[in-house]
Amino acid sequence: MSNGNGNDKPVRSLEDPNFKTCLQDARFQNQNATKWCFTMFVDFHKCERLLGEGSDCCGQFKKVYRAICPNEWVQKWEEQIEEGNFPVDLPEKRNK
């Protein structure tokens, strides 16, 4: 299984950096983490469109949104992006 970082080494302990969950984000210190999750999801898709799909730099965003967003939400948003009715303007996909 992929952990979002493109790193598939087996985990040895809870302190393993491959296993550790995302750190707290200084921009999102509220108990309400809704916006944190959404921002990370949008940032990931912006990043992928700007830097090309599968770019290593975008892995961090993916790791965070995968860790904190409920899978159902992610599924819904991905469907919206596919259908073109996602509420945020994303940059054009880069052609490789």
Partner 1 sequence: MSTWKTLFLQDSASPLMEHLTLFHDHTILILILITILVSQMLLSMLLNKLSHRFLLEGQLIETIWTILPAIILILIALPSLRLLYILDEINNPSITIKIIGHQWYWSYEYSDYKNIEFDSYMIPTKELNSFNFRLLEVDNRTPFPYKTQIRLLVTSADVIHSWTVPSMGIKIDSTPGRLNQANLIANRSSIFFGQCSEICGANHSFMPIILESIKPNLFLNWIISKT
- Number of residues forming the site for partner 1 (CB under 8 A): 29
Cα–Cα distance, 50 to 19 (Å, whole number)? 28
Residue 23 interacts with partner 1 (CB under 8 A): yes or no: yes
Task: Supply the minimum distance, in Å, between the C-beta of residue 3 and partner 1.
Answer: 5
Beta-carbon neighbour count of residue 46 at 10 Å? 16
Q: What is the distance between the alpha carbons of residues 12 and 82, in angstroms, rounded to a whole number? A: 38
67 binds partner 1 (CB under 8 A): yes
Reading the block at residue 59, the tokens are: 């892995």
- Of residues 40, 42, 47, 68, which one binds partner 1 by CB under 8 A? 68
Q: Does 10 bind partner 1 (CB under 8 A)?
A: yes
Asked whether the beta carbons of 80 and 86 are under 8 A apart, the reply is yes
Shortest approach of partner 1 to residue 96 CB, angstroms? 28
CB 79 within 8 A of CB 93: no
Residues that bind partner 1 (CB under 8 A): 1, 3, 10-15, 18-24, 30-34, 36-37, 66-72
